[in-house]
Amino acid sequence: MKDSASKDGPLYQLCVFDDRRGTEEGNEDDKVLVAWPSGKISRALASVVGLAQAMISFMSNFEPEEPCSSINTANHLWALHQLEPHIWYLMLEDKQLLGASLREEAIKTVLQRLALLIRLLHGPMDAILAKDSTGAAARQLLQANVTEFMERFLQGREVAYAGLHHPLSGHQGLPKLPLPWAQFAGSTWAASNDGCANPRIAANLQGESSKHQQARVGLTEATADGAVKGLMLMHGRYVLWSSLGIGDSQALHILATTAILPAVAANGAFSLGRRISSAYSARAASPRGSRPELSPKVWQVHSSGVLGLQSMNTGDLTAESLLHIYLQDEVDPHILLPYRSGEALLLLLLHDRQDVADALPELISQVKKEADATLKTLSTAANAELQATNHWHVPSLRYVFRDGLTGSVRGSPSSKIGTLAKETVLLLDSVQASLDNNWAYDMHQDGSKDLVIRGSQDAWVIARQAGSGRLLMAMENGADSNLLETSRRADALGYRLQLEKPV
C-alpha cells in the first residue's frame, strides 16, 4: 500500500486480524476479522496486515518476549496490540493530518481499551473461532461493537483528539476516588471467607456489636448459594471500590462510562417506539442477533433500578436480558447486574447458573433492600470528597499521577490542562516518552527517578517516579521560582498523593 496521506482520508483506520489465518496465496484477506471504517476487507487492507505481520515476525527475533507494538513510516504510525495469542489489533494514524499532537502511547491506549472491551463482551477469540472456523461469527460479533466504539471515540473531534494526545490526560488508568477506608470497612462492606473474590454487602452495620455483624448474612451467601462472583462500585465516572483485577476493572469501567452511564443519563430521552426500533434494527443487521452493547440505545433502565438490554418480547427483566460478560482469565461467562441508586452504580457479577437465574427477582429485591442505604451514604461521602478537592485541582499546577500497582489515575481536570502553552505540552510529551521507554528498566533497578526541567516561558516540568507510582507535572509563569522551590512543590503534591520521594 502506498504510504501517503490524503486530506479527505480518515485520521484513523483500524482492523483486527488473526495471524494464523489466510496463509494460502490469494486468501490473505481471511486474516482480517474486523475492518473500520469501511467495514469491508479490501486487498489494500490485507496487504497492510501482511506487512504488519512480517514486521511482527522480524522483530520477534530481537525481542522475543516483547511483541512488536508500533511501526513508523513517513506518513503513518501503525500501532499494534496483542491481548491474546495470535489476535492483533492494528490502528493506522495519519501523521500529516494529526500533526505534532500525535502520541504513540495515546494510540496504544485506544487499542488496549478496545481489546479489553471486546474480551469482556465476547470472551476469548479462540473459543469463537473454534465454533465457526470460517470467521463469519467472529466478524458479526465484533464489527458492531468496534464500529460503535470508534464512532463514540471520534465524537467531538477537536476535544477528543486534544484530550487523547495530551501527556497529562488520564486515559491510561482508572479514575479512583480515594474515600477513607472507614467508609467501607466494618460498617458497610465485608469480604467473605475467601477474601475479595466474593465480596458481600452488609448494610447498616454501624453501631452493631461484632457478634451481630458476624451473624449478619451477606448477599453472597444468602442468595442462590453464593450468586455473586465479584463487584465494582462507582460514583459517576469514579471508581470507589472493585474486587476485580486491574484489567477487568478497566474493561468494566469503560463499558460503564461508554454505554451504561449514558443510558442512565438519557433515560426517558428515547421514546419507547424509538427504543424498539433501535433494538429491532440492531438485531436485524445480523442473522445471529448481535447488537452493539456499547450503544446506550440498547440499554433499558427498569423501575427496580437495574439496567438490562432491550428486549423484543415483553420487556421484562430476565437473565437473558442481562448482559453476559467474560473475565480475562476465564472462559465461562458471568451475568452482569448493574444497579443504579442515585449517583451510585453497583456492578454485580453473578454466576451464570440456572439457580441464580431462577432467583433473580429475589436477588434484585435483596440488593435494593441491603444496598440502597449504603450506596446513598457512600455517594454523600463521594460528593463531599469531590467538592473538598475541587476534582483534585491544584492551583498553578497541572499534573497526572498514575499508580501501576492499582491501575488508578488522578490528575488535573481537562479544562485546566488545556490552558498549558504548546511549548510546555511538547516538553511534557518528551519527558513522558522518556519515562515510557525506560519504565521497565527503572522498575527492575532501584525503581526511583526524579527529573526537573526548566523550559521556555518560565515553565517547569517535573517527573517523579517511585515504586509503582509516577507523577508528571508542569508549572508555568514560574519566573520567580527556583529549583529548590519547584522541588518543594513536587514534594507537597507527592505527599498528598502518597508518592514516596525518590532517594
The pLDDT value recorded for residue 224 is 40
Examine the pLDDT at 410 and tell me if it is beyond 70.
Answer: yes
The least confident of 87-101, 191-205, 213-227 is 191-205
Bridge partners, residue 44, by sequence: none
Report pLDDT digits (tens) over 34-83.
Answer: 998 878 888 888 888 988 999 888 888 888 777 888 888 778 888 899 98
Examine the pLDDT at 219 and tell me if it is beyond 50.
Answer: no
What is the spatial distance between Cα 323 and Cα 314, in angstroms, rounded to a whole number?
17
Q: Span 345-366, mean pLDDT?
A: 89
The pLDDT value recorded for residue 445 is 53
What is the spatial distance between Cα 192 and Cα 228, in angstroms, rounded to a whole number?
11
Report pLDDT digits (tens) over 262-306.
Answer: 999 887 544 455 555 554 444 444 433 457 898 898 898 888 889
The model's confidence at residue 198, banded by pLDDT at 50, 70 and 90, is very low
Q: Span 159-184, mean pLDDT?
A: 69
Examine the pLDDT at 349 and tell me if it is beyond 60.
Answer: yes
The pLDDT value recorded for residue 164 is 67
The pLDDT value recorded for residue 447 is 55
The pLDDT value recorded for residue 356 is 87
Residues 6+ apart with CB under 8 A from 188: 201, 202, 203, 205, 374, 377, 378
Report pLDDT digits (tens) over 451-497.
Answer: 788 877 778 888 888 777 888 888 887 656 777 878 888 888 887 77
Examine the pLDDT at 260 and tell me if it is beyond 90.
Answer: yes
Contact 427, 453 (CB under 8 A): yes
What is the spatial distance between Cα 18 and Cα 144, in angstroms, rounded to a whole number?
18
The pLDDT value recorded for residue 273 is 52
The pLDDT value recorded for residue 190 is 36
- Kindly state the cell numbers that stand for 449: 527517578
Examine the pLDDT at 501 and tell me if it is beyond 60.
Answer: no
The pLDDT value recorded for residue 94 is 79
What is the spatial distance between Cα 364 and Cα 441, in angstroms, rounded to a whole number?
49
Q: Span 336-345, mean pLDDT?
A: 92
What is the spatial distance between Cα 412 and Cα 18, in angstroms, rounded to a whole number?
39
Report pLDDT digits (tens) over 397-409.
Answer: 888 888 877 888 8
Examine the pLDDT at 116 and tell me if it is beyond 80.
Answer: yes
* Core vs surface per residue 419-434: b (16+ CB within 10 A) or e: ebeeebbbbbbebbee
DSSP annotation of 205 reads -
What is the spatial distance between Cα 199 and Cα 312, in angstroms, rounded to a whole number?
34
Which domains does the chain possess? 12-165 (3.30.450.70), 181-388 (no CATH), 398-496 (3.30.450)
Examine the pLDDT at 503 and tell me if it is beyond 60.
Answer: no
Q: Span 77-93, mean pLDDT?
A: 90
Q: Of 249-253, 425-429, 442-446, which has the strongest mean pLDDT?
A: 249-253
Residues 6+ apart with CB under 8 A from 348: 228, 231, 336, 337, 338, 339, 367
Q: pTM, whole model, 2 decimals?
A: 0.81
Amino acid at 363: L
Q: Write the DSSP assignment of 143-200 as a string of letters.
A: HHHHHHHHHHHTSSHHHHHHHHH-TT--TTSB-B----GGGTBTTTEEEETTEEEEEE
The pLDDT value recorded for residue 158 is 42
Contact 77, 96 (CB under 8 A): no
Examine the pLDDT at 201 and tell me if it is beyond 50.
Answer: no
What is the spatial distance between Cα 360 and Cα 345, in angstroms, rounded to a whole number?
18
